[in-house]
């Protein structure tokens, strides 16, 4: 289904499409959803995708993104609404501030997000933390970004650098790297990278762009909380429940890889289903409806209204995120990403540098960090296979590719729109904050990986 155009015209079309999208959204104030769908359609025609396949390409990109995001955002919003209205978010906020102090509240939230981000994906982790994040920002003040960027950045660095997340795992398997060493070196890369690029940069950006805390998870203005809120420990366990279920899958996968469990076993596949992120969140929502609802005297009709009120405000987020996935899908199907990779493959740089450059180019061209990482790993695999690299160097190459895959998050990245809409930022502000943060993550992550590669 790829276009027959050469690399030059394809790259020119990609640049023009991104420029048009920015003009529509930032200049003409066209709604992001309409702009993304329109530019996706025009790009598909311009790149020569067969007309009878265009709708399929658009729907595939839209549907595959929604399949990942819609369930997570919807279930996470329900969980956030229950935690917020019950007073649980306020209780946890009081506890965090009591232990760390108001001045270190962004640090406390960021460290908690690093821990939560070990087993859970970026979008799911961000949704789970949002009610806590919003409540702390309201309580302490100073604007949303001061707290939001350290939290979002924590989930991002863990997702891109540290197994069991799919990108580094797949790249590690393709390049023959030891996953255990990738985990250890990934943490060495992720933690200082987060501190500089997300925490310190978040504090600076929060002072420069003071954004109000909005009500996207509250179903409207702040609701009146229970006079007797749940204990902090109860809220922590609720937030940990989906993480425990998801992390349980990691143990099962390790057992399968060690030959202790057969992936053909029925019980293995049934149990593993409960650790999939959407199912883990679904279970957590049901537990929360009992613990924060029925057990505290709320009737079924009240709980139903609470959950229903959580979904309306996130519909726009879901649709815009899906449209961002549509745009990225068109860029991928058109062959733009492949053309860019082919033009960079033979430039003669050391494999760790070439891999980073190729991953960055793919990320900028088509948006998906996971696609950029896996594709770039496939492209450098023959070079790595024919080279003599020790286990640390192999892990460093994987992490260099990971760093490239997170660079320059912009309008073709569904994560860009997720952060933009959850934080209620316009495109210009998101480019100045989130795009810069992700680029800093990539540059610093690559620098640390490069140092490890050089001294190994």
What is the token pair recorded at 450?
A: 């490069």
Q: Within 13 A of 290's CA, how many CA atoms are on the CB side?
A: 6
Dist. CA 345–CA 358, nearest whole Å: 7
* Residue 341: pLDDT band with limits 50, 70, 90: low
pLDDT reported for residue 218: 43
**138 and 281 both lie in a single domain:** yes
- From 25, 41, 57, give the residue that closes a domain: 57
Higher pLDDT, 40 or 116: 40
**308 and 321 both lie in a single domain:** no
Q: What is the pLDDT of residues 421-447, one digit of tens each?
A: 888 899 899 999 999 999 999 999 999
What is the token pair recorded at 189?
A: 């890369």
Say how many domains are in the chain.
3
Q: What is the pLDDT of residues 128-143, one digit of tens each?
A: 788 888 888 888 888 8
Q: What is the DSSP string of 124-144?
A: HHHHHHHHHHHHHHHHH-S-S
Token pair 């729109």 in the structure block, residue = 417
Does the residue 166 lie in any domain?
A: no
**304 and 322 both lie in a single domain:** no
Higher pLDDT, 280 or 4: 280
**307 and 331 both lie in a single domain:** no
**119 and 267 both lie in a single domain:** yes
- Residue 338 pLDDT greater than 70, yes or no: no
pLDDT reported for residue 28: 84
- From 316, 348, 380, give the residue that closes a domain: 316
Q: Choose the weakest-confidence range: 265-269, 432-436, 451-455.
A: 265-269
Domain span at residue 94 reads 65-156+226-316
**322 and 356 both lie in a single domain:** yes
* Residue 219: pLDDT band with limits 50, 70, 90: very low
**392 and 298 both lie in a single domain:** no
**126 and 253 both lie in a single domain:** yes
Does the residue 114 lie in any domain?
A: yes
- Residue 329 pLDDT greater than 50, yes or no: yes
Does the residue 230 lie in any domain?
A: yes
* Residue 223: pLDDT band with limits 50, 70, 90: very low
Does the residue 197 lie in any domain?
A: no
- Residue 190 pLDDT greater than 90, yes or no: yes
**237 and 338 both lie in a single domain:** no
- Residue 215 pLDDT greater than 70, yes or no: no
**33 and 80 both lie in a single domain:** no
Does the residue 435 lie in any domain?
A: yes
**138 and 258 both lie in a single domain:** yes
- From 285, 316, 347, give the residue that closes a domain: 316
* Closest among 413, 408, 423 to 129, alpha carbons compared: 423
Dist. CA 75–CA 90, nearest whole Å: 20
Does the residue 204 lie in any domain?
A: no
Rg (CA), the chain: 22
Does the residue 336 lie in any domain?
A: yes
**292 and 411 both lie in a single domain:** no
Does the residue 428 lie in any domain?
A: yes
Q: What is the pLDDT of residues 294-326, one digit of tens each?
A: 887 777 888 888 888 778 766 776 787 678 778
């Amino acid at each position: 289904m790829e276009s027959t155009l050469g690399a030059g015209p394809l790259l020119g079309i990609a640049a023009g499409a991104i420029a048009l999208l920015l003009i529509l959204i930032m200049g003409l104030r066209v709604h992001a959803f309409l702009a993304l769908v329109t530019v996706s359609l025009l790009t598909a025609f311009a790149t020569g995708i067969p007309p009878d396949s265009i709708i399929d390409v658009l729907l595939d990109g839209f549907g595959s993104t929604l399949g990942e995001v819609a369930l997570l955002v919807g279930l996470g919003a329900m969980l956030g609404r229950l935690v917020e209205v019950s007073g649980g978010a306020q209780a946890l906020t009081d506890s965090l501030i009591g232990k760390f102090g108001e001045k270190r509240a962004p640090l406390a939230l960021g460290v908690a997000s690093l821990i939560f981000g070990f087993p859970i994906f970026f979008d799911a982790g961000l949704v789970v933390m949002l009610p806590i994040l919003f409540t702390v920002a309201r309580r302490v003040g100073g604007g949303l970004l001061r707290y939001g960027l350290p939290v979002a950045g924590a989930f991002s660095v863990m997702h891109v650098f540290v197994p069991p997340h799919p990108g580094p795992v797949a790249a590690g398997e393709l390049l023959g790297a030891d996953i255990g060493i990738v985990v250890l070196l990934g943490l060495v890369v992720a933690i200082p990278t987060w501190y500089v690029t997300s925490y310190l940069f978040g504090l600076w950006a929060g002072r420069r762009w003071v954004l109000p805390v909005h009500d996207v998870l509250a179903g409207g203005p702040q609701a009146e909380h229970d006079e007797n809120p749940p204990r902090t420990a109860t809220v922590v366990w609720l937030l940990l429940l989906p993480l425990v279920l998801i992390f349980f899958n990691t143990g099962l996968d390790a057992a399968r890889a060690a030959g202790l469990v057969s992936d053909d076993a029925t019980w293995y596949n049934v149990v593993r289903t409960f650790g999939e992120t959407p199912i883990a969140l679904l279970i957590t929502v049901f537990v929360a409806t009992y613990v924060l609802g029925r057990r505290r005297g709320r009737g079924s009709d009240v709980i139903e209204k609470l959950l229903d009120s959580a979904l309306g405000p996130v519909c726009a987020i879901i649709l815009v995120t899906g449209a961002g996935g549509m745009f990225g899908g068109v860029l991928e199907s058109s062959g733009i990403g492949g053309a860019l990779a082919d033009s960079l493959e033979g430039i003669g740089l050391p494999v760790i540098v070439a891999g980073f450059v190729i991953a960055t180019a793919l990320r900028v061209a088509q948006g998906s960090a996971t696609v950029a990482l896996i594709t770039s790993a496939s492209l450098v695999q023959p070079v790595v296979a024919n080279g003599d690299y020790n286990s640390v160097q192999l892990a460093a190459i994987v992490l260099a590719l990971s760093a490239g895959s997170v660079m320059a998050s912009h309008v073709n990245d569904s994560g860009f729109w997720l952060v933009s809409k959850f934080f209620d930022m316009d495109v210009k502000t998101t480019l100045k904050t989130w795009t810069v943060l992700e680029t800093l993550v990539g540059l610093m992550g690559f620098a640390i990986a490069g140092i490890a590669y050089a001294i190994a």
